Chains A and B, each alone.
Chain A
Amino acid sequence: MAKATHSLTRSFAAHAILAAYTVIALFPVVVIIINSFKSRKAIFRSPLSLPDRDSFSLIGYETVLAQGDFFLYFQNSLIVTVVSLFFVLLFGAMAAFALSEYRFRGNTLMGLYLALGIMIPIRLGTVAILKLMVASGLVNTLTALILVYTAQGLPLAIFILSEFMRQLSADLKDAGRIDGLSEYRIFLRLVLPLVRPAMATVAVFTMIPIWNDLWFPLILAPAEETKTITLGAQVFIGQFVTNWNAVLSALSLAILPVLVLYVIFSRQLIRGITAGAVK
Chain B
Amino acid sequence: MSASEEKKRPVRWHIAVFLAPAVLVYTAIMILPLFGTLQLSLFREVEQQQVFVGFDNFRILFGDPRWSESFWNALFNNTWFFIIHMLVQNPLGVLFAALLSSPKLRFSVFYRTAIFVPTILSFVIVGFVWKLILSPLWGITPDMLDAIGLKSLFAPWLGKPEYALTTLSLISVWQFIGIPMMLIYAALLSIPDEVLEAAECDGVTGMSQFWKIKLPLVLPSIGIISILTFVGNFNAFDLIYTAQGALAGPNYATDILGTFLYRTFFGFQLQIGDPNMGSTIASVMFLIILAGVSLYLFGIQTRLRRYQF
Contacts and interface: CB of A to CB of B under 8 A. Distances in A.
Contacts of B115: 18, 21-22, 25
B180 to A, nearest CB: 11
A80 interface: no
Given A14-B99, A22-B111, A48 B186 contact: no
A225 interface: no
A22 B12 CA distance: 52
A260 to B, nearest CB: 11
Nearest to A236: B124
B190 A25 contact: no
B186 A274 contact: yes
B63 interface: no
Interface string A95-132: 10111011110000010011111111110111111001
Interface in A203-223: 204-205, 208, 211-212, 214
Interface of A: 10-11, 14-15, 17-19, 21-22, 24-29, 31-32, 44, 47-48, 87, 90-92, 94-95, 97-99, 101-104, 110, 113-122, 124-129, 132, 147-148, 150-152, 154-156, 158, 160, 163, 167, 170, 173-174, 177, 182-184, 187, 197, 201, 204-205, 208, 211-212, 214, 230, 233-234, 237, 247, 251, 254-255, 258-259, 262-263, 266-267, 270, 273-274, 276-279
A129 B182 contact: no
A77 to B, nearest CB: 10
4 closest A-B pairs by CB: A125-B33, A128-B33, A277-B189, A98-B18
B34 A127 contact: no
Nearest to B6: A177
Contacts of B125: 32, 233, 251, 254-255
A273 B190 CA distance: 10
Given A102-B4, A208-B119, A214-B124, A125 B113 contact: no
A132 B28 contact: yes
Interface stretch (B50-58, B64-72, B159-167, B285-293): B285-293
Contacts of B123: 212, 214
Contacts of A90: 21
16 contacts: A10-B206, A21-B92, A22-B115, A92-B22, A97-B18, A118-B231, A148-B29, A150-B29, A154-B25, A197-B186, A233-B124, A247-B128, A251-B124, A251-B125, A262-B113, A277-B190
Interface residues of B, number: 95
B32 A174 contact: no
B38 interface: yes
A183 B16 CA distance: 12
B199 interface: no
Contacts of A11: 102, 104-105
Q: Which of B17, B34, B112, B143 has the most CB of A within 10 A?
A: B34
Nearest to B289: A119
A17 B99 contact: yes
Nearest to A92: B22
B122 A124 contact: no
B235 A259 contact: no
Interface of B: 1-5, 12, 14-15, 17-19, 21-23, 25-26, 28-34, 36-38, 92, 95-96, 99-100, 102, 104-107, 109-126, 128-130, 132-133, 138-140, 143-144, 174, 179, 182-183, 185-186, 189-193, 206, 224, 228, 231, 235, 237-238, 258, 261, 265, 275, 278-279, 282, 285-286, 289-290, 293, 308
Nearest to A244: B132
Given A154-B26, A183-B14, A258 B120 contact: yes
B49 to A, nearest CB: 17
B185 A104 contact: no
Contact of A24 (B122, B139, B174): B174
B57 to A, nearest CB: 15
Q: Which of A25, A92, A127, A156 has the most CB of B within 10 A?
A: A25
